[in-house]
Amino acid sequence: MAGRRHLLRAAGEEVELEVLSHERAGPERPGRLRARVDGVELECGYRPLGHGELWLELGGRTHRLLRAADGPARLLSGLGAALRVEPAPPRRAAAGGPPPEVTPPTPAVVVAVRVAAGQRVRAGEPVVVVSAMKMEATLVAPRDGVVSEVRVSVGDRVQPGDVLVRIDAAPAEGGEP
C-alpha cells in the first residue's frame, strides 16, 4: 500500500522506508515493491516461498530471505544482514500539534474519498470513509490545512500506519493557497 512507512533496524542503525507502490504477489506472478529508503528510491520483486522463506529480486540479483513475525514487526535475515521491520509511528506536526497524516485505526477497505489534493479543510471535516467488518468509519482532518496528498482510492485495502491523506498547515490569510 502506497504511503505506508516503516522503520528498518539493523546493526544498531535505523532508517525509514516509505512504500511508494506495491503490487501483491499472485499465484502466477511475483509481487512488486517500489520504496524510498533513506531518501533513495528502489524497486524489487518478491515471491513468498512458504515456511518463512521469501524470494527477492533486487538490482538484477535473486536472493532468499528468511522471515518471521515478532508482533507487528517482521524479522528478515539475508543479504548478509538481519533486519527488523516495524511500522513507523505517525509523524507529529513540528510544534507538537496533531499529526499531518490521516491513517486508519484498523485494517479496512476505502469506501469513499471526500477530499482532493489542494483542497482546504477544517479540523474534524470528513476526508476518507473506510469499512472494516461491515462497519463504516469516517476519518476526519486532524487539523485545519490544505490537502497535500491523497494516497488512496475507493476499493484500496489499508492497514494501520498507512498514510491515506496528508494535510499541510494552511498558509496565513492573504498568502498563496
The 10s digit of each residue's pLDDT in 155-172 is: 999 888 788 999 998 776
Strand arrangement of the beta sheet that strand 101-102 belongs to: 101-102, 165-168, 145-150, 120-121
Q: How far is CA 90 from CA 100, 110, 164, in A?
A: 9, 19, 12
Residues 68 and 126 in one domain: no
Measured in degrees and rounded to the nearest 5, phi and psi for residue 123 equal -55, 135
Residues 9 and 77 in one domain: yes
C-alpha–C-alpha distance, residues 36 and 59, integer Å: 15
The answer to whether position 136 is within a domain reads: yes
Are residues 1 and 19 in contact, defined by beta-carbon separation less than 8 angstroms?
yes
Taking the alpha carbons of 143, 149, 155, 157 in that order, is the dihedral positive or negative? negative
**Through-space distance between the first and last CA atoms of the chain, rounded to whole angstroms:** 29
pLDDT, one tens digit per residue, over 108-130 is 899 999 999 999 999 889 999 99
Whole-number mean pLDDT of the chain? 83
The answer to whether position 81 is within a domain reads: yes
Residues 81 and 105 in one domain: no
User: In total, how many domains does the chain have?
Assistant: 2
Residues 19 and 74 in one domain: yes
Residues 23 and 65 in one domain: yes
Q: Given a cut of 90, is residue 99 above it in pLDDT?
A: no
The verdict on pTM exceeding 0.85 is no
* Percentage of residues in the chain having pLDDT higher than 90: 21
What domain range is 135 assigned to?
Answer: 101-168
Residues 40 and 106 in one domain: no
Are residues 30 and 15 in contact, defined by beta-carbon separation less than 8 angstroms?
no
pLDDT, one tens digit per residue, over 25-69 is 888 888 998 888 767 788 899 998 888 898 988 878 888 989 888
